Amino acid sequence: MDQVIKALAHQGRIRILVANTTELVRYAQRIHETYPTASAALGRLLSVTAIMGSMLKNKEDQITCTIRGDGPLIKTTAISNSKGQLKGYVVEPSVQFINKQTKKLDVAKAIGRGTLEVIKDMGMKHSFVSSVDLVSSEIGEDFAQYFTVSEQTPSAVSVGVLVGKDNQVLSAGAIVIQMMPDAQEEDILAAEHVIKNLKPVSTIFNERQDAKNVARSLFSDVDILDAQPLQYHCDCSFKRIRSGLKMIDVVDLKDMLIEDEQAEVICHFCKEKYVFDKHELAEIIKEKIEFDENKRNKPSI
């Protein structure tokens, strides 16, 4: 079962977060029809984003993590809320690179050089936005850099996705180990020892260990605090897509009406198709024109 585990070790001075995301990454691969390297990139990002989503405090909070690079993947995005619901997509799903030396999927080459952007929407007027340069483009090290630079929390991040010869996702997950503010030298040394001897995350979950057992195996005194189920879930709807169409320029909407007599929108995250016929499209154009006129005529203060 996909879930994220929160735990403490070393008398509460080390925080552990473990996410098994095999089923949701498998589902993402299936709907996006990603090639193995693209599957690994999207799966790694979904796995860490699941952990970050579990850190959100309020029910309506949401976090968006986006990796932009100069490699062929172009952009990979994952979104999680505090309820353990995730969705994600990659701009170019048909990307496949194998590292000639390691013979493993070359996610770094597929991403290239770029940035990691994290947006936290906590229901306030402005969202919290932070961006860091990618340090390796392997995603785990890049999030470790984000935690250290943007959240001032020294962290080790390990992520992995194992893809079989038939392109099926066999396992996926992430482990985050963080030092709490009162961490001592002995805690840091213990964490470094664990990280140094840690098997690849994809191997750990492919051995069918659940997230709780993985957390307990890291340190001798692990205290499990919480377990949250995870699932791939897209919240798109006809109403939300319709509202999105009203953000398009009137000229472009009219072109759709004249040329196609309809508008067809496919959701990035779940591939659901929404079709707006000419009558609905004409109504959207009318509402858009009225909205723009009211905005222009609104007196400035």
According to the model, what pLDDT value does residue 122 have?
80
Instruction: Give the pair of three-digit tokens for residue 64.
Output: 């968006």
Question: What is the residue extent of each domain of the chain?
Answer: 3-232, 238-295
| Amino acid identity, position 201 | V
* More reliable by pLDDT, 118 or 259: 118
Q: How far is it, in rounded angstroms, from Cα 138 to Cα 157?
A: 11
Confidence of residue 301 (pLDDT cuts 50, 70, 90): low
- Architecture per CATH, domain 3-232, reads as 3-Layer(bab) Sandwich (3.55)
Task: With beta carbons less than 8 A apart as the criterion, state whether 45 and 80 touch.
Answer: no
pLDDT in tens, 39-82: 999 999 999 999 999 999 888 899 999 999 999 999 999 999 99
Task: Determine the average pLDDT of the residues in 94-108.
Answer: 94
- Architecture per CATH, domain 238-295, reads as Alpha-Beta Complex (3.90)
- Range name among 38-52, 159-173, 282-296 with the lowest pLDDT average: 282-296
Task: Determine the average pLDDT of the residues in 96-125.
Answer: 92
Asked if 3-232 and 238-295 have one fold, the answer is no
| Amino acid identity, position 247 | M
Confidence of residue 172 (pLDDT cuts 50, 70, 90): very high
Q: How far is it, in rounded angstroms, from Cα 250 to Cα 288?
A: 7
According to the model, what pLDDT value does residue 293 have?
79
According to the model, what pLDDT value does residue 233 have?
97
